[in-house]
């Protein structure tokens, strides 16, 4: 089943200043249409409570709602899908539980990861990290621009056409060069929620991505 994969994906982060649901509302007000709820150090009950608050925003906003790591919670709260890390259950297991209507994404750091995830039926791939980021613990080796270029070229050579989303320490100044590698989009966390105005920062990210789409189409 083909799913629409947003070019800007926001990943929540629990902070003393704002809850994931508060961050989600502001990002949605800025025009983002993809929210991934990521609460690594919280129990299922806390995650479900926050998920219900985010899901309630669908009354006012049109967006895709993804749960990080846990397919069972995604099913329980009625999310649109799940994003699986390298240490989580396999996409095959998640698909058996969720069915074809749910979006399943997977994290990759190498071309071997990409091939494995493709064979296991994911809908999109989160490839990274681009550079060091303090948002995520147990970070995989940093890829950098050359790493993205190499992996995306290998995907093309092997006729792998899944949408690939860059993640990990990406800043707005990186958008143009990263999009030219062939990335479908970007997943952003701290580069949005740490800013004084989440709404205006989200708008800036969307504008930057849209400009690269236009310029890339002109080149091709």
Annotated binding site for Mg(2+): 69, 88
CB burial string 151-179: b at 16+ within 10 A, e below: bbeebeeeebebbbbbbbbbebebbeebb
Residue ranges at the known binding site? 36-40, 68-69, 88, 107, 133-136, 169
Q: How far apart are CA 131 and CA 141, in angstroms?
A: 9
Residue 199 buriedness (CB in 10 A; 0-12 / 13-18 / 19+): middle
* 45 Cβ neighbours under 8 A, 6+ residues apart: none
């Amino acid at each position: 089943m083909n799913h629409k994969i947003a070019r800007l994906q926001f990943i929540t982060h629990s902070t003393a200043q704002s809850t994931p649901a508060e961050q989600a509302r502001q990002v949605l007000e800025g025009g983002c249409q993809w929210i991934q709820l990521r609460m690594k150090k919280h129990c299922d009950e806390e995650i479900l409570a926050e998920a219900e608050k985010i899901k309630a925003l669908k009354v006012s906003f049109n967006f895709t709602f993804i749960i990080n790591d846990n397919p069972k919670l995604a099913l329980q709260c009625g999310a649109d899908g799940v994003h699986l890390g390298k240490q989580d259950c396999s996409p095959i297991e998640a698909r058996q539980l969720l069915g074809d209507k749910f979006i399943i994404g997977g994290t990759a750091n190498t071309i071997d990861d990409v091939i494995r995830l493709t064979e296991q039926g994911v809908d999109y791939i989160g490839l990274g990290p681009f550079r060091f980021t303090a948002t995520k613990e147990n970070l995989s080796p940093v890829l950098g621009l050359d790493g993205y270029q190499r992996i995306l070229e290998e995907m093309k050579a092997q006729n792998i056409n899944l949408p690939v989303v860059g993640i990990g320490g990406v800043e707005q100044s990186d958008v143009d060069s990263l999009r030219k590698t062939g990335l479908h989009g970007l997943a952003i966390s701290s580069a949005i929620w740490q800013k004084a105005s989440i709404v205006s920062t989200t708008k800036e990210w969307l504008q930057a991505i849209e400009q690269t789409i236009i310029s890339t189409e002109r080149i091709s």
